[in-house]
A = this chain, B = another copy of it.
Amino acid sequence: MSKPRLFYFDIKGRAEPIRLALAAAGVDFEFEAVNKEVIKSDAEHYPFFQAPRYIDDEVDMVQSMGILRHVARKFDLYGKDHAEMARVDEVIEGCSDLLAKMIMEYMIKAKEDPGAKDAYWAGRIDPASAAGATTYGAHMALLDRLLARSSSGYYLDSGLSVADIVVTFFMQLHMEMFSCESLAEQWPSLMALHDRVLALPRIAAYPAGPLHPAKMLFSSA
């Protein structure tokens, strides 16, 4: 199998869970940076005019969470049976919901509303607000609750899956915005999962390598 190829901007962004999953599976891949001009001019390969795009011996596809699920299926990071796959999907969907709120309520809103950051923390991260009626499924407490169902230290009893990888990325994203101390204090199990995943031998080598972008987002330092 020739090396998979990943096309994205030169940031971690929405491709980072894919990179982490490939690293965790021990799959060497090539990365090609793209820009908006490339994407907008090639409707056949970028049918939604969006990146990431991923190519391997089976697929040439887009949609970050679709790519992640393909990588999970192909490289055995989706759990061992339907029951475990269902657990993975609950975590992926829950993370996606929270990410959507973060983008809308914090990243976009903060440009005009200086209180947006604190409001997002209070509504979506602070344990005190978990049971509130307004979370609509999007709260860090809910990801913590799912992790508590397992005894392996990962979301699945059978071990590492893309559920752990998505949540690890999610914690990294929040560590850009909020202090590590306050996140670790409020959500020690999630932070421990993050640390555990990044310390895995295959993944530990990845941040030091050339496939690892320095910036999380376009706006990151």
Chain A residues packing against B (C-beta within 8 Å): 40, 43, 47-50, 58-59, 61-67, 69-70, 73-74, 81-83, 85-87, 89-90, 92-94, 97, 100, 131, 133, 135-137, 139, 142, 145-146
Contact = CB atoms under 8 A, between A and B. Distances in A.
B133 A40 contact: yes
Nearest to A138: B48
Query: How many copies of the chain does the oligomer comprise?
Result: 2
A68 to B, nearest CB: 9
A145 B97 CA distance: 27
Given A62-B90, A93-B63, A70 B47 contact: no
Contact of A94 (B48, B59, B73): B48
Contacts of A142: 47-49
A148 to B, nearest CB: 10
Contacts of A63: 89-90, 93-94
